[in-house]
């Protein structure tokens, strides 16, 4: 009597097991389908990115990861390291290069020259490194402080690079991280802007753009407090860099006395007391000898440092002042420090009257 019952139970177990197995197979098949779709979509996205690169103008060459491995001898000679990756020295043919390996996923999507998972940017090699190594008080005893003439040249190169980004491209490009560490110097002390990882593109008909805060504390314009910025944020940062160049000190220096930590606060005090001469780099006799010229350069910097961004000049106007074809604005608001801004931290005319060029940028090769 028990036989038929056992057979019925066994049949039911087999049916239940078969049903569970079928459900499991369906789940696995669904998961595999989802993974396949994601991979297919990612593949199409990468193909679209490749096609997007093909449409860009002015990209002279692209490289495989293997080529750059050979060029850098397996990334042997590290030149430096930043927030987005490490930079390595290399050589392609007769040309020396600097290859930046982007270590943070998702960075530099439209800026990199890469092969699939390897994201690399290839720059021209700038043998004298970044500007900060040349303008701050130097303790390595490798050479004297920069002459006034050289500092004027560097300031003009920076201004022309920014003028090109702001006024000569199809879209306005705000760099948004102008600081000495992102300004590279070649063998002849020509300066070029680099590191466009935080830049923002703006249509010509846009008066401003709302964006999350980006940049480096100490170089941020007051308008970052509202997150509504224009390319004038770069001009404020440029003014700070100019002050660092002529004073030979960092704009935020915690090794100094409390009243001297912020260069911009010190500038506000000195200009109101007619003591700008106190800010001239004391480590350079040549800078001291060009006292009046340096003070005129400070006045140009102050034009750029005004809290109201509408009162700051365009970079093309800054270039014109540096080249002696126009005068700087004299009606300057000398209150440079906005409330809650603590953490945001001309003479010597240049003879060249050439317009700003893309060559003032250190871009991917």
CA 56 → CA 48, 61, 111, 162, 346, distances in Å?
13, 12, 11, 21, 38
Would you list the DSSP string of 302-358?
HHHT-SSGGGSPPHHHHHHHHTTSSPPP---------TT-TT----S--S--PPP-G
- Indicate the length of the chain as a whole number: 365
Cα separation, 241 vs 249, in Å, equals 10
Q: Are 231 and 221 in contact (CB under 8 A)?
A: no
Q: Which helix (H) or strand (E) holds 45?
A: helix 2-55
> Which active-site residues does the annotation give?
177
209 DSSP assignment? E
DSSP string, 60-100: -----HHHHHHHTTTTTSEEEE-SSEEEEEEEETTEEEEEE
CA atoms within 13 A of residue 34's CA, in its CB half-sphere: 5
Structure tokens at 307: 């809290």
127: number of Cβ within 10 Å: 12
Round to whole Å and give the CA distance between 20 and 249.
Answer: 73
Whole-angstrom distance, CA of residue 134 vs CA of residue 283: 12
For residues 35 and 37, give the distance between their C-alpha atoms in angstroms, rounded to a whole number.
5
What distance in Å separates the CA atoms of residue 154 and residue 136, rounded to the nearest whole number? 14
């Amino acid at each position: 009597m028990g036989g038929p019952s056992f057979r019925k139970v066994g049949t039911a177990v087999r049916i239940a097991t078969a049903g569970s197995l079928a459900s499991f197979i369906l789940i696995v098949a669904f998961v595999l389908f989802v993974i396949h779709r994601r991979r297919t979509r990612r593949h199409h996205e990468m193909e679209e990115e490749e096609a997007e690169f093909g449409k860009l103008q002015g990209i002279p060459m692209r490289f495989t990861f293997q080529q750059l491995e050979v060029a850098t001898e397996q990334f042997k000679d590290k030149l430096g390291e930043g927030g987005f990756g490490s930079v390595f020295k290399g050589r392609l043919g007769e040309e020396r290069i600097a290859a930046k390996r982007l270590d943070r996923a998702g960075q530099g999507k439209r800026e990199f020259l890469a092969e699939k998972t390897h994201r690399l940017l290839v720059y021209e090699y700038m043998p004298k490194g970044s500007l900060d190594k040349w303008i701050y008080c130097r303790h390595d005893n490798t050479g004297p402080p920069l002459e006034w003439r050289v500092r004027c040249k560097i300031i003009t190169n920076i201004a022309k690079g920014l003028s090109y980004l702001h006024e000569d491209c199809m879209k306005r490009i705000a760099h948004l991280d102008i600081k000495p560490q992102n300004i590279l110097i070649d063998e002849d002390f020509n300066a070029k802007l680099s590191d466009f990882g935080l830049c923002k593109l703006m249509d010509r008909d846009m008066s401003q753009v709302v964006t999350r805060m980006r940049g480096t504390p100490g170089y941020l314009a007051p308008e970052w407090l509202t997150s509504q910025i224009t390319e004038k944020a770069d001009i404020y940062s440029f003014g700070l860099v100019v002050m660092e160049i002529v004073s030979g000190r960092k704009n935020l220096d915690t090794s100094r006395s409390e009243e001297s930590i912020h260069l911009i606060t010190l500038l506000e005090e000195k200009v109101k007391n007619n003591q700008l001469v106190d800010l001239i780099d004391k480590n350079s006799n040549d800078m001291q000898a060009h006292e009046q010229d340096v003070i005129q350069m400070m006045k140009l910097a102050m034009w750029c440092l005004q809290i109201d961004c509408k009162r700051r000049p365009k970079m093309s106007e800054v270039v014109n002042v540096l080249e002696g074809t126009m005068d700087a604005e004299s009606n300057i608001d000398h209150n440079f420090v906005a409330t809650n801004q603590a953490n945001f931290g001309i003479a010597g005319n240049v003879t060249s009257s050439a317009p700003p060029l893309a060559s003032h940028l250190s871009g991917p090769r």
